[in-house]
Amino acid sequence: MNAFLAQLRRSARQMLALSPMILGVIALVGIVRVLLTPAAIGRLFDGNWLHDTLVGTLAGMVAVGQAIVSYLLGGELLDAGVSLYAVSAFVLAWVSLGVVQLPLEVEVLGGRFTLLRNALAFVFTILIAVATVWSVRWVG
Amino acid sequence: MGGIESGCGGLRLRGFRFLGVVAALYLALALYDPHRCMAALRIAGETLATILPILAVVIVISAAIFWRFDPREFAKRMERHGAKKRRLFALVAGVLSHGPMYAWYPLIGDLRRHGVGDGEIATFFFARAVKVPIFPLMVHYFGWPFSVFLTLYILVGAWIQGILVDRIERGIR
């Protein structure tokens, strides 16, 4: 049990060491959510599938919050006439990419790995969004 | 990134420079639009309140992992399993993990220092896009075909990204 408590202390200290960075990320979440409103996001799309997929991915990267919010917002965007390409990319980028947490990721995992991982995640988000829409249309 | 030695046992706090930049953004927002600044602070406070229990859970999970397994032994054991099993483990762990990505960085950073591969970490992070608890909500908003295809492609994408990261890093070395 003592060994577990020692590990618990060690883990807590590691988390504490990153606390200024984590607090910075959380504070940045507040600013992004205030500035990036659903109306502002909706104005970004123009109906062209390639443009919408790309913009959806970029908007999802910048947006922050619980995944559940991205579904609600995605549903609203669909109702507002935004294409499924845009919404798929937006919803997926929301949970797989994050500009806000990049400084922390670089700090902990290094710049090279962070760049490689996020570049791949960006490309795959676009590919998956397009493949999902094509598949949905294929099954009718 | 702005590390500072604290008084308690030589603990090195990291990220003060980044925190300073964010504080400057708040100051600019307060001067430009005080109401939005207050709203941003409120959201940040709510986010912090939501995140704290998750961070506590991550600390306990992290302690449990390193208590039960010596990190180097754990990494070696993973190594013995072969690439496919390791990637499958990362995939399942990613799907089951909860909370924001940044809450997992300390644990993942620790595992990486002890030998867990970058490919598995990339797989873990992308697999986190699958959200099992709110899957019914996704079906409600976007329908069954969309939800099933998206989930399937995320899992395949996470697997392929793990392979690509390993290959690219091997190529760089």
pLDDT band for position B32 (cuts 50, 70, 90): very high
Chain-wide mean pLDDT for chain B? 84
pLDDT digits (tens, 9 = 90+) for B118-147: 999 999 999 999 988 788 888 888 999 999
pLDDT at B124: 94
- Surface-to-core class of residue B73, CB atoms within 10 Å of its CB (0-12 exposed, 13-18 middle, 19+ buried): exposed
Average pLDDT over every residue of A35-40: 79
Interface touch A95/B131, C-beta < 8 Å: yes
For A92, nearest residue in chain B (alpha carbons): B129
CB contacts < 8 A (A, B): 214
Does any domain span residue B31?
A: no
Query: What letter represents residue B149's amino acid?
Result: F
Chain A window 66-95: which residues touch B at a Cβ cutoff of 8 Å?
66-68, 71-72, 74-75, 78, 84, 87-88, 91-92, 95
Q: pLDDT confidence of B7, banded at 50, 70, 90?
A: very low
With 70 as the cut, is the pLDDT of residue B8 above it? no
Give the position of tokens 């506590």: B56
Whether B40 is covered by a domain: the verdict is no
> What is the number of structural domains in chain B?
1
* Residue B16 domain flag: no
Average pLDDT over residues B141-162: 96
| Residues from chain A contacting residue B165 (CB–CB below 8 Å) | 113, 116-117, 120
The pLDDT of residue B75:
60
Does residue B14 fall inside a structural domain?
Answer: no
Whether chain B has a CB inside 8 Å of the CB on A39: the answer is no
When pLDDT is averaged across residues B80-88 and rounded to a whole number, the result is: 84
Band (A32; pLDDT cuts 50, 70, 90): confident
Range of the domain at B128: 58-172
The pLDDT tens digits of the residues spanning A6-23 come to 888 988 888 888 888 888
Q: Which range, A40-49, A97-106, A107-116, has the best average confidence (pLDDT)?
A: A107-116
pLDDT in tens, A38-84: 777 778 888 899 999 999 999 999 887 778 778 878 887 888 788 99
Contacts 24+ apart (CB under 8 A), B115-118: B115/B71, B115/B72, B115/B75, B115/B76, B115/B78, B115/B79, B116/B75, B116/B78, B117/B86, B117/B166, B118/A113, B118/A116, B118/A117, B118/B165, B118/B166, B118/B169
CA dihedral A132, A99, B50, B157 (to 10 degrees): 30
Choose among B36, B102, B168: nearest Cβ to A34.
Answer: B36
**A31–B40 CB contact, under 8 Å:** yes
Q: Which of B19, B54, B113, B134 to mutate to test the interface with A (most CBs of A within 10 A)?
A: B19
Q: Is the pLDDT at B38 greater than 90, yes or no?
A: yes
- Give CA–CA dist B68/B74, Å, rounded: 9
> How close B74 gets to chain A, by Cα (Å)?
15
